[in-house]
Amino acid sequence: MLLNDLTSANAILPALRVNTKKQALQEICALAASLSGLPERGIFDSVLQRERLGSTGVGNGLAIPHCKLANARSIFGVFARLERPVDFDAQDGAPVDLIFLLVAPESAGADHLKALASVARVFRDPRLTARLRATKDPAALYLLLTHNQTSHAA
């Protein structure tokens, strides 16, 4: 599964200014809601419920919050680059500045896990994450996320 199957150029927040994990998630969920037509509160509540199970901050300044919703029609994602890193209770204790939210239908099953794995695989590349942190241009961020993924594909 490639990231261009999961996100779109208008699903990029290139320079999000927030002070907390909760604020970051609220802003990202608001964009996800406006793009999908799903209720913002439903996305946000589901993401917070998942975060209560354990932080989705995977380390190295990266987080992949995710949730499943009954009324979601397909798996989709929103990417945010934060102006300043925020505490995310990440596994390595480091603050987070790159976030990729995934929303999936409740029936997604293995596809949800494949999407999570695809995002994690892309963010494993330290050269890519450095380039993502170095740009604020939404079109450039989208290209970085979706370009040349064949080397990352499973």
Does residue 66 carry a catalytic annotation?
Answer: yes
Query: Residue 128: phi, psi to the nearest 5?
Result: -65, -45
Residue 26 lies in a domain: yes
Where in the sequence is the domain holding 90, given as residue range(s)?
Answer: 3-148
Residue 154 lies in a domain: no
**Helix %, strand %, coil % for the chain, to 5?**
45, 25, 30
3-state secondary structure of 112: helix
Return averaged pLDDT per consecutive 10 residues of the chain, 154 residues in all. 85 97 98 96 97 94 96 95 97 96 94 92 93 95 79 43
pLDDT at 1: 63
CA distance 147 to 31: 23
- The token pair that represents 120 in the structure block: 């994690």
Residue 88 lies in a domain: yes
State how many domains the chain has: 1
pLDDT at 148: 54
Residue 153 lies in a domain: no
CATH number for the domain spanning 80: value is 3.40.930.10
Alpha carbon 150 to chain centroid, angstroms: 20
pLDDT at 4: 80
Catalytic residue among 66, 112, 147, 152: 66
3 sits in which H/E element: helix 3-6
